[in-house]
Amino acid sequence: MSKLPYRIGFGYDIHRLVTDRKLILGGVEIPSEWGLEGHSDADCLTHALADAILGACGLPDIGHQFPNTDPSIEGINSQEILKKASELAHEAGYSIGNIDSCVIAETPKISPYIHLMKAMIGNTLNISQDCIGIKATTQEKIGSLGASKGIAAHAVCMLFHL
């Protein structure tokens, strides 16, 4: 891997909303009658962040690192996925400078939980909360996200060479 002074990565994830699942975003359980469907806890925000970190390193995405065909990781807490992405970045010689993200959901309202998500993610990545951006928006009732059929997240990160 070339040792650039910094590297930028982008991540995206989307999961379908279903009944009988907890809604976990940014490592925080949010009260809801709906949860996200997936092999792990389906935390699309954390998955997007992990993919942004892996992408900045030029590494394969979380589907490669944590395949949904592996029964040993079914239900895995996505903070473990994020921690592994951070460890791989450190092994590649990089530290996380900052991350920014946006959660797209019609319901439930995410903004009351952003401070808890920042605390959880900061703890997992061992970075200051002021280096973490999390925003929430809706799809303005357009498309499947706008019809509350799922939740998506976009994320970017900047890594600095150690």
For 106-131, the pLDDT digits (tens) are: 999 999 999 999 999 999 999 999 99
User: How far is Cα 106 from Cα 145, in angstroms, rounded to an integer?
Assistant: 7
pTM (predicted TM-score)? 0.96
Q: What is the pLDDT of residue 93?
A: 95
User: How far is Cα 119 from Cα 157, in angstroms, rounded to an integer?
Assistant: 17
- Domains, in order of start, for the chain: 6-161 (3.30.1330.50)
Q: What is the pLDDT of residue 4?
A: 85
Q: What is the pLDDT of residue 1?
A: 62
90 neighbors 56 (Cβ within 8 angstroms): no
Q: What is the pLDDT of residue 34?
A: 96
Closest by Cα among 26, 157, 41 to 89:
157
Q: What average pLDDT values come out for the chain (162 residues) when binned by 10 residues?
A: 88 97 98 96 98 97 94 95 97 96 96 98 98 97 96 98 92
Q: What is the pLDDT of residue 72?
A: 93
